[in-house]
Amino acid sequence: MIKISIIGAGSAFTQEIIVDILTIDGIDEGIIALVDIDAERLEIAHKLVEMIVEKTGKKWTVESSTNRREVIVNSDFVINQIEVAGLSTVKMEYEIPLKYGVKQCIGDTLGPGGLFKTLRTLPAWLEIVEDIEELSPNATILNYTNPMSAVTLATTKVTSIPVIGLCHSIQNTSQDLAKYLDVPYEELKWKSAGINHMSWFVELTHNGKDMYPVLKEKIKDPNLLAKDPVKFDAMKYLGAFVSESSGHFSEYVPYYRKRQDLIDIHCSTGYNGGTGFYANNWPTWRKENDEIIRKKLTGEEDIELTPSGEYAAVIIEGIVKNSPKVIYGNVLNQGLIENLPVDGVVEVASLVDQNGVHPCRFGRLPEHLAALCRSNMAFFELAVNAVLNKDKEMAMHALMLDPLTAAICSLGEIKNMFEELFLAEREYIGDLK
């Protein structure tokens, strides 16, 4: 009988993923094990999953515990959604860098926020991986936690258990491109690869026609340009559209957030680049998500059995039913993209069947796009190794390589910012020396 464990079950992702899994044709029973250290959020997640099971009419059993070792034994799949001390740190990870002129929009992947999220997430996650190795050695790990590249990379360094990092940026971006071009989604063809949040759509065609000239013509319309301002601007000069939101992407390169006039020109509000967007809204979003779940439990809101487009259920179906699928996942490179580090994590098309996930060779990215990816991969390599080696200086060096921080601050300023963040978050970030 199939068993799926979800670590961090209080996450907003849980409902979507469970609906996806329980609407797979032909997989009608199994065990869902839920884990969260917040007992209250775990309780409402458990009740919600039981309601979804009842609504689908399937025979899944739901287990839950704040102690993961009690419920993850013999899991076939372990889904990671953990958030470590996010409510306690999100403001300081925005406000301290802001004093040094670093104006983050999201701050959960690169930059000062991304670095310190790595430093506080990995120690907890690596302890979980040890338990998975002991209790579920035949599992496949599906990671949803950001920083995606860092968490996935760290996992590959400490275990041989298969791990794949899953995001929705390829699905969402490809759908956005079809809308921008006004062509049916199923008719749009593309070729994309890179790293998480920075995958490049190097080919974009419709009925054999290159759609980039069409897209470049269309963005002369300011209304369309405003829908994805940073990514459209980058496309004009770099020649390819990039995955993830304009706000996320604006933090991963040195061009858009180093001066307020550039932010004013290229970034608008929300996910299109609003300064402080994540820090100012995430605690509210989390509270609102819990309230929505409670309303579903009381019947005030319906539970929709609508597929989300996330890849976790696609992978589970492909492996369990030997039903070949193609997904985009974050995996160890090992030559898949020739001009990116072989021991880094890349995002590529991957085939799924009963034997697992099989990443597909991409070849070479255009060199200027690969160079932008390599810069960020160096950041992830240093940040991950800082945790594994308990090396504080290595963590500081990661911040010195961050494209946005380096565009704004001197080395001395970066050191001072790092020390201030380190002191503020000392209790959350493990044993760095």
Question: Are residues 225 and 255 both part of a single domain?
Answer: yes
Does 285 map to a domain? Answer: no
Question: Are residues 270 and 151 both part of a single domain?
Answer: no
Instruction: Per residue of the chain (433 residues), give pLDDT as tens.
Output: 999 999 999 988 899 999 999 999 999 999 999 999 999 999 999 999 999 999 999 999 999 999 999 999 999 999 999 999 988 999 999 999 999 999 999 999 999 999 999 999 999 999 999 999 999 999 999 999 999 999 999 999 999 999 999 999 999 999 999 999 999 999 999 999 999 999 999 999 999 999 999 999 999 999 999 999 999 999 999 999 999 899 999 999 999 999 999 999 999 899 999 999 999 998 999 899 999 999 999 999 999 999 898 999 999 999 999 999 999 999 999 999 999 999 999 999 999 999 999 999 999 999 999 999 999 999 999 999 999 999 999 999 999 999 999 999 999 999 999 999 999 999 999 788 8
Does 293 map to a domain? Answer: no
Task: Mention every residue, 6+ apart, whose C-beta is less than 8 A from residue 382.
Answer: 394, 395, 397, 398, 401
Question: Are residues 53 and 172 both part of a single domain?
Answer: no
Question: Are residues 147 and 40 both part of a single domain?
Answer: yes
Question: Are residues 306 and 426 both part of a single domain?
Answer: no
Question: Are residues 72 and 206 both part of a single domain?
Answer: no
Cβ-contact 143, 152 below 8 angstroms: yes
* CATH number where 425 lies: 3.90.110.10
Say whether pTM exceeds 0.75: yes
Boundary of a domain, candidates 261, 288, 316: 316
Q: Which domain does 47 fall in, by range? A: 3-85+114-167+300-316
Question: Are residues 32 and 134 both part of a single domain?
Answer: yes
From the list 140, 172, 400, the residue with the least C-alpha distance to 271 is 172
Is 397 an active-site residue? no
Measured in residues, the chain has a length of: 433
Provide the domain count of the chain. Answer: 2
What 3-state class would DSSP assign to 195? strand
Cβ-contact 24, 317 below 8 angstroms: yes
* CATH number where 154 lies: 3.40.50.720
From the list 372, 383, 353, the residue with the least C-alpha distance to 148 is 383
From the list 191, 127, 122, the residue with the least C-alpha distance to 152 is 122
Question: Are residues 266 and 336 both part of a single domain?
Answer: yes
Does 290 map to a domain? Answer: no
| Helical segments of 389-410, H only | 392-401, 403-408
Instruction: Give the active site residue among 168, 197, 248, 266.
Output: 168
Does 282 map to a domain? Answer: no
Question: Are residues 118 and 154 both part of a single domain?
Answer: yes
